[in-house]
Structure 1
């Protein structure tokens, strides 16, 4: 695997991880006034800018999972596909 492909794969997986951590924190109703929690929220909001609100769900927890989970899935899939082609 080339160095570029490895960097793409790592970056995509880190982005997905940040989004998944935010989903867990949001569902657990973590205090966003906390610096660490707020940092995850800001990063997740930025990473999922394109996917938030794409679909409407009447359940707030479902909306969080859909908005941020869709972005995490896309980052992980696309990053790993691109990373695997760089052999």
Structure 2
């Protein structure tokens, strides 16, 4: 939402930010670059990528168990 310059007063934006902070809690402020857009991208992008890989691996494992 930050990179898209979303309206921060919107309830949906608050919900998404809260969920993102909770999901990225383990890596929040892991990167401390001067460029705010890069810091935001890495602090929230890294957990998103980790969850994507873990979700894909878990789905593949479940698919193997079912067959």
* TM superposition score normalised by structure 1: 0.67
Per the alignment, residue 64 of structure 1 pairs with 40
| Separation in structure 1 between the aligned mates of residue 43 and residue 31 of structure 2, nearest angstrom | 8
Flag structure 2 segments of 5+ consecutive residues without an equivalent.
Answer: none
Regions of 4+ moved over 2 Å: none
d(CA) in 2 for partners of 1:28 and 1:83?
30
Q: Which has the higher contact order (CA 8 A, sep 6+)?
A: 1
Aligned residues: 63
TM norm structure 2: 0.84
- Tell me which protein shows more helix as a share of its residues: 1
Long gaps (5+) in structure 1: 1-24
CA RMSD of aligned residues (A): 1.0
